Amino acid sequence: MNKMRLMFTSKLENEAFARTSVVAFLMPINPSVDEIMEIKTMVAEAVVNCMIHGYDGKEEGDIQLDVQYDENRMITIQIQDYGCGIENIDLAMQPLYTTKEHLERSGMGLTIMSTFADDFQITSTLERGTTVLIKKQLHVESEEEK
Q: What is the pTM of this model?
A: 0.87
Under the banding of pLDDT at 50, 70 and 90, the label for residue 31 is: very high
CB 116 within 8 Å of CB 135: no
Range 31-40 contact pairs with CB under 8 angstroms and sequence separation of 24 or more? 31/138, 32/138, 32/139, 35/136, 35/138, 35/139, 38/116, 38/136, 39/75, 39/77, 39/116, 39/136
- Collapsing DSSP states into helix, strand and coil, what is residue 84? coil
With contact defined as beta carbons under 8 Å apart, do 63 and 5 qualify?
no
Q: How many domains does the chain have?
A: 1
Residue 133 lies in a domain: yes
Is residue 144 included in any domain, yes or no?
Answer: no
In a domain, 142, yes or no: no
Q: How far apart are CA 107 and CA 143, in angstroms?
A: 42
Average pLDDT, the chain: 88
Asked if residues 106 and 45 have their Cβ atoms less than 8 Å apart, the reply is: no
Q: Is the pLDDT of residue 126 over 60?
A: yes
- Let me know how long the chain is: 146
pLDDT tens per residue, range 35-74: 999 999 999 999 999 998 899 878 889 999 999 999 999 9
Residues marked active site are found at 45, 49, 105
> What's the domain range around 63?
2-137
Is residue 146 one of the residues assigned to a domain? no
Give CA–CA dist 100/96, Å, rounded. 11
User: Is residue 57, in this structure, part of any structural domain at all?
Assistant: yes
Q: For residue 56, what pLDDT is reported?
A: 83
Residue 115 within any structural domain of the chain: yes
pLDDT of residue 63: 97
Residue 71 lies in a domain: yes
Residue 143, in any domain of the structure = no
Helix and strand totals (H; E) in the chain: 4, 5
CATH number at residue 114: 3.30.565.10
